[in-house]
Chains A and B, each alone.
Chain A
Amino acid sequence: MRGRSGTGWRQALAGLAVRTGPDAPSPGRRTVPVPVRRDGSGRPRHRRGEQPMVPEAEFSSYYGRPVIKEPVWEPADVAGYLFTGGLAGASSVLAAGAQLSGYRQLARVGKIGALGAISLSVAALVHDLGRPERFGNMLRVFKPSSPLSVGSWLLTGYGPMAGAAAVSEVTGLLPGAGLAATLGAGLLGPGVATYTAALICDTAVPAWHAGYREMPYVFAGSAASAAGGLGLLAVHPADAEPARRLAVLGAAVELVAKRQLLARLGSLAEPYEAGTTGTILRLAEFLTAGALAGAVLGRNSRFVSALSGASLVAASAMTRFGIFEAGMASARDPKYTIVPQRARSGGNE
């Protein structure tokens, strides 16, 4: 087995020529260093549009066609599903914490927010199926090898509890069962918020798969900051101390984890940093950092707290869309598939 641990592919993506070694280039291919060949025909292709952020590594592809298929998922459905699932799961954690510490109004917001968000999340998941009427087939089997199977079962347990907690809260019926449902949803909520990270990373999409170690922490942080943000938005700061803590903690974790994610990815971070996706993710980071400061410094101001809360919710949504789009971009360009693989296999066949 060849070594797969290394940093080799990162260096290669950062601009080293990959085609080295006695048997690498086929006749006639190696003699033209610039411009880089990007297709199997041997014709040079000029890169259009913006300048690449790293020097192009030399590699071959089949007419520049992608090696893997990009996901068939609609961004609004699946990025929305990632965002609302996180918001719901962390809102249930907030609701449980608020209930235990006597913040009744905040607990109420958490429960209603969780039910609303998880309803949207499941609706998006079903809507994105090619055969929505067969959604029930998700529960035909339980497969730990499929994060979507595990997630479907998790949602099956979590959804009704989140629903019962909210209904009991609003109607005042069965308070004992409502408390149990609140705690149950609070227990499963974190799983709902993070399994989606395992889901997208368990693919051949280079920019997702290579980040599987950090992605769950980005998702957990983003979910917590969104749920805390919703609390700050809806409840007077004097009655929203747990939401403030969750928001600050979540935002801080998200900012750090996202930095670590990009550092891990090395040059595979390019799809997260380039173009519109890069702008969206930088804006989300800026909003999160600003809201973090606002939530800490503006704790006595209803307006500043609400503004910070709204910013955190928006930033969380933007982060999920950005991560989704970065993955799509990395699937479309064969460079991100071929160069890391070529580098880890040592340039040999």
Chain B
Amino acid sequence: MSADPAARAGYRDHPPRIGFFTDTSICIGCKACEVACKEWNAVPEDGLSLTGMSYDNTVGLGASTWRHVAFVEQPARPGEGLRWLMASDVCKHCTEAACLDVCPTGALFRTEFGTVVVQDDVCNGCGYCVPACPFGVIGRREQDGQAHKCTLCYDRLGAGLEPACAKACPTDSIQFGPLDELRERAQLRVQDLRAAGQDQARLYLNDPDDGIGGGGAFFLLLDEPEVYGLPPDPVVTTRDLPGKWRHAARAAAGLAATVIALGLGRRK
């Protein structure tokens, strides 16, 4: 599978693939990314409640939440008390994107930047993308019946601006830029952290050989992905679609062949 999804989608002379590198080791949990995203993209309010999940009252990504800051409180090393992990989650803009593959209308499309975006005027709200996403990112909004998710600020990219969340992030936990550069930078950062004794530091979705062909948005985590609500080994569901079609076709052929059995013992 080509590592250049924009070229695969038919773009020629397209800009370099861009993405996010979210370095959770320097996230301070301020939620400025959540607010900036809501403001810029005019994403509606989606519930105001207290969850009791540390400082997280946002709960998770969805149709009306395109950035979500997770808060994990866990015991630290013996004698060190509590460790507080914070991480800003976002659409992964997968190289092999299940939501885009299964969308029957073409509302979801690949941009020239290699990102994945929903066209609001095309989506008919069939909801197929929702359970197709291995990360539970995309959702269907009650108010308009359509699917919505992070666009990686497609409108801002077109104007040469960085996405609202990255712009607002005070610690540069959210870094934006050409994906190749981000991957190099992330590699150096994880090496530094490990050298400094953070032996749990690891990169997540940075590998083009993983189950989604690598994320356009990838992460530096300080614990296993599932601790942050992320799947440990996601695989795009359409990877074995040929097998699914093969079995469906065989079953259909079997059903069609029963006509022969039905036709036996023909009446006068």
Contacts and interface: CB of A to CB of B under 8 A. Distances in A.
A36 B222 CA distance: 22
A138 to B, nearest CB: 5
Interface residues of B, number: 88
Interface in B94-142: 98, 101-107, 122-128, 130-136, 138-141
Contact of B226 (A60, A137, A219, A220): A60
Given A68-B135, A145-B102, A152-B104, A190 B252 contact: yes
Given A40-B72, A67-B231, A69-B131, A220 B262 contact: no
A166 B75 CA distance: 69
Nearest to B107: A137
A204 B234 CA distance: 9
Contacts of A209: 237
A216 B256 contact: no
A130 B126 contact: yes
B181 interface: no
Contacts of A149: 104-105
Contact of A129 (B125, B249, B251): B125
Given A62-B227, A68-B135, A205-B131, A102 B267 contact: yes
Interface string A164-200: 0000000000000000000000110111011101110
Interface stretch (A91-99, A278-286, A289-297, A298-306): A91-99
A191 B103 contact: no
B209 interface: yes
A212 B238 CA distance: 11
Contacts of B250: 216-217
Contacts of A199: 128
Contacts of A141: 104-106
Contact of A203 (B51, B132, B140, B146): B132
Contact of A140 (B102, B106, B224, B256): B106
Contact of B132 (A89, A202, A214): A202
A220 B263 contact: no
B265 interface: yes
A224 B258 contact: yes
Interface in A114-141: 128-132, 134-135, 137-138, 140-141
Nearest to A327: B131
B239 to A, nearest CB: 9
Nearest to A220: B251
B241 A202 contact: yes
Given A68-B133, A130-B145, A341-B232, A148 B128 contact: yes
A87 B139 CA distance: 31
Contacts of B237: 202-204, 209
Contact of A60 (B224, B240, B245): B224
Given A23-B199, A341-B234, A93 B259 contact: yes
Contacts of A189: 255-256
A242 B232 contact: no
A245 interface: yes
B151 to A, nearest CB: 18
A52 B222 CA distance: 31
A61 interface: yes
A100 B78 CA distance: 79
User: Counting chain A CB atoms within 10 Å of each CB, which of B73, B101, B252 scores highest?
Assistant: B252
A314 interface: no
Contact of A69 (B130, B254, B262): B130
A27 interface: yes
Contact of B124 (A97, A135, A147): A135
Interface stretch (B9-17, B36-44, B54-62): B54-62
B70 interface: yes
Given A101-B266, A203-B131, A137 B124 contact: yes
Interface stretch (A70-78, A266-274, A315-323): A70-78
Given A143-B104, A216-B252, 20 more contacts: A62-B70, A68-B133, A93-B256, A100-B266, A101-B264, A101-B265, A131-B125, A137-B123, A138-B124, A147-B241, A148-B104, A194-B248, A202-B238, A203-B102, A203-B132, A212-B244, A212-B247, A214-B247, A245-B261, A342-B226
Interface of B: 51, 53-54, 59-60, 62, 70, 72-78, 98, 101-107, 122-128, 130-136, 138-141, 144-147, 199-200, 202, 209, 223-235, 237-238, 240-241, 243-245, 247-256, 258-259, 261-268
6 contacts: A100-B266, A101-B262, A130-B141, A146-B101, A146-B103, A189-B255
